[in-house]
Structure 1
Amino acid sequence: MADVYREPTPDQLQDLHDAVVDALTALADQISIPHGGRLDVDPDPASGMTHPMNTAEWQLAMLRALREVEPLTQVLGDRWARTAGIMGATYTQLGDAAGITRQAATKRWPGAVPPKDASPVDIETAGGTARVFYDQASGTWAWIGQGANGTSAESEDDAGHGTSEAAAAAAGAFLASNTTTDEKE
């Protein structure tokens, strides 16, 4: 497999670590309430005041700030893994970049890498038509169709199918249940 990026240098990693700590420190400074509830603590050592960092309150504020980092990295990781998959990356490449195995990448980001044959399939049965297609946004297979009776429907947003066969079966069931119009007497 060809290299697709360079590993960061120790200096680049240190710069990243410093930037993250600086951002967390800034947030902790903003949200901490120094010992005694004083919001006007002067962090200037020449003033004789102690920096709020030297209080339990500031340390707790830092822990609160840290609570935001992990979920953010998960959201960003999901976004960039799916984007890389859409752009042609493999699960092996996603795993390598994330420091996990291909199998773990497949489990963490199901549907991020489109199937090799994601061509839409048209179905004509029971007098109606449907199209089964791979939905990149959800990483699942979906369908849209119109029954012989003129009723139109599609996969529900939260009910994507893991395979094209499952989506085709759902589309077929819809077409079979919409073969005739109900006549009003």
Structure 2
Amino acid sequence: MAKAAATRLAIVQKAFDLIYERGYQATSIDEIIATTQVTKGAFFYHFKNKEEMGLAVINEIMYPNMIPLLGDSLKKPGDIRENIYGMMKALLSNHQFFKVEFGCPVVNLIEEMASLNANFHKALTRVIMAWQAELENAIRAAQDQQQLAKEHHAENIASYVISGYGGARYMGKVLGRSSYTSFLQEFKKYLNSL
């Protein structure tokens, strides 16, 4: 990797870490520069402003790390209910990328920035719609294999799953990891009812 590309990646990764822990608006360019030990000139060589850097965090860290992981867990052989449950359990319990006390970086940015900035809204919508599409495709494939009845609407199930995840992440920020256990128990009952 070229030095310029390595510098850019270091800035985006550190920006992700700080934004995840503090929020986008509470993270300054100066803090990012100080923690990456790059010059202000190097920062502005790669990003014309903080917004461009924030969008890079979504498009270069969040999207490419989250969507393939979710898609792979849904494409495993076996029952779709177990795959969706396994995906959710892994996201809540086993994913080293996320910390309970900080919630989910995507959900956090949706809450903080989607209504304030059209570019953030567009980038975050892309992440959610990609996850929605992965879920819908997996559910429709399961319906074709007669694992699920056709009467179930793939879009509605996918939306419910994503909304449940967001809610569980919010609860975890306040109540800790134990809230995930109760959520997963009820979530499993929901999936088994399909």
Instruction: Indicate whether the TM-score tops 0.5.
Output: no
Q: TM-score, normalised by structure 2?
A: 0.27
More helix by share: 2
The structure with the largest strand share of the pair is 1
After TM superposition, the score normalised by the length of structure 1 is 0.28
